[in-house]
Amino acid sequence: MFGDIGETKECQLKDPMDLFHSGQVVKICAPMVRYSKLAFRTLVRKYSCDLCYTPMIVAADFVRSAKARDSEFTTNKGDHPLIVQFAAKEAQVLCDAARIICPFADGIDLNCGCPQRWAISEGYGACLINKPELVKDMVRHVRSQIDNPKFSVSIKIRIHEDLKKTVDLCQKAEAAGVSWITVHGRSIEERHQPVHYDAIKIIKRSMSIPIVANGDIKTLKDAENVHHLTEADGIMVARGLLANPAMFAGYEETPVQCIQDWVDIALEHGTPFTCFHHHLMYMMERITSKQEKKVFNVLSSTSAVLDYLNDHYGVW
């Protein structure tokens, strides 16, 4: 997958900032552990998703291990524009990861929002929102060491209880040259509480760079409402796209054609069975009965899943 840092590859690299200058709200597939990999990104791009992120990758492992690079990251010519999200806590490590990825992707994103205990205990993720100078330093270092001016450097954050701290963090990142900021409108402690869209609006009005809103967006109507509430330049969706990869194209629930497309794409990419099956479980959640779920969710082979889909939906 990778050669020397300077090696180039025939990728259709794009400038992600062009999306934010288009006058349209940018529709974005979030970084999701295990799920936002190449096959799923290929699927959502067929259904009006403008920009895709990889799952979070630990930058130190990525830099240190060729095995980690090959297992954590795959792409192809059609997989653009693409943002690779890294967990990092040292500026030079993030720069090294960015330099490796630069020929293959259109930008990197620094994860400053993951609330999981393991990430925070390692100094990654949401704990970085309390280290604005470090975030600023990491953004500035990548900006200074990547020659390609079209290569984006973004961050994804959660909010503070005291929103002034969040605005300060965002303004420091902007001063360091960050391309855009994605704001998940909850604090580190909040999980299922309502998203603070009003906070995202305050952040948006305090900045001159694009702001992306994230949190509890499950339908295209939700996306339109959140855009209206926050004035954000982009909308990032995670679980809503898992449940309905055709969401951005205006479908209320997963259409059968989307299930067919997933089968075709997943088989073409050699997607492992567990991942292939889990995506289908999410996609069919709203369109199957409890009894059907009991049968489908315990299927244990690709052939059994294909037989079920053929018998019930005409998918083959």
Residue 214 phi/psi, 5-degree rounding, is: -145, 140
Q: Give residue 288's pLDDT.
A: 93
What local confidence, expressed as pLDDT, does residue 66 receive?
A: 93
pLDDT per residue over 97-151, tens digit each? 999 999 999 999 999 999 999 999 999 999 999 999 999 999 999 999 999 999 9
138 is known to lie in a ligand binding site: no
Which of 29, 49, 52, 114 is catalytic? The answer is: 114
Structure confidence at residue 14 (pLDDT) = 87
Provide the token pair at 190: 């909040």
pLDDT per residue over 33-50, tens digit each? 999 999 999 999 999 999
Tell me which residue has tokens 């930058």: 59
On whether 31 is known to bind a ligand per the annotation, the reply is yes
Known catalytic membership, residue 114: yes
Q: Please determine, for residue 274, whether its predicted confidence score (pLDDT) is greater than 70.
A: yes
55 is in an annotated binding site: no
Nearest to 174 by CA among 149, 147, 139, 202: 139
Q: Is residue 184 marked as binding?
A: yes
Q: What is the pTM of this model?
A: 0.95
* Per-residue pLDDT at 89 exceeds 70: yes
CA nearest neighbour of 52 among 16, 88, 17 = 16
Beta strands 57-58; 51-53: pairing state: unpaired
In the structure, what pLDDT confidence band is assigned to residue 303 with cuts at 50, 70 and 90? very high
